[in-house]
Amino acid sequence: MADLILPARGLLFDNDGVLVDSEVSVVTSWRRWAKDLGLDPDEVMAAVPGRRAADTVALFVPADDVAGAVAEITRLELEGAADTVAVPGVLDLLPQLIGVPWAVVTSGVRELAAARLRGAGVEPPAVVVTAEDVAAGKPDPEPYLAGAARLGLDPADLIVLEDSPSGVAAGLAAGCTVLGIGAPALHTPAPAVVTDLTGARWTGTGLQLPAAALLRRP
């Protein structure tokens, strides 16, 4: 099977699960938050992937309590932010992107996103779109449309790299090419899915993905 090349002029990366592996921190923080509020941790965890913390919290607490509950989960997540590691292939791919328009588009708040990136050894790029920057979070396309606008590129010229159903939906709705990261992305409509970014290479006109990493191709 041949390598897959996705043409593009730039890249829009989700953060958690795409650039950084923060799963242990995320699960520990949210389960503790749920238990402290007397909620079912499994039910809460099912609502977390790809959503802004405020959107998840609003599903479980009264409107008047959302701000305080968001502050608490943010505090818990920041405590474990330094324990993140880079997803395989990320630290090899990013140095290839010097001069290439790329951004991080995350459902996390700015402070948490920066802490997790640095914890994984990734210096945040010039453009980072966070929960504070949009009125509607993923699966709404607004975050990825904002990322495209700040890079000065048409969404159709960008690849969105995502791992969650809501993130994939947001990227597709924005009109971007979407690449799913990790086996769980096989349960999303991402046209192409890879195990991780091991062996990924920027060609100058797109992203080349090794055949060995492909779980699904368009």
**218 band by pLDDT with thresholds 50, 70 and 90:** very high
pLDDT tens for residues 125-147? Answer: 999 999 999 999 999 999 999 99
Which residues are known to be catalytic? 14, 16
How many Å apart are CA 40 and CA 18, to the nearest integer? 27
The two tokens of residue 156 are: 């159709």
E-strand stretches of the chain: 4-7, 10-13, 20-21, 85-86, 102-105, 127-129, 158-162, 177-181, 192-194, 201-202, 206-209, 214-216
pLDDT number for residue 25: 84
**What is the C-alpha separation between 140 and 83, in angstroms, rounded?**
29
Is 3.40.50.1000 the CATH classification of the domain at 4-21+84-216? yes
At residue 33, the 3 state secondary structure works out as helix
pLDDT tens-digit readout, 20-40:
998 888 888 889 999 999 999
Q: How far apart are the C-alpha atoms of 119 and 43, rounded to whole Å?
A: 28
Ranges of each domain in the chain: 4-21+84-216, 23-82
Report the pLDDT value the prediction gives residue 43, as an integer from 0 to 100. 94
Specify which residues 168 forms β-bridges with: none
158 compared with 26, residue with greater pLDDT: 158
Tokens 């791919």 identify what position? 93
Q: What is the pTM of this model?
A: 0.88
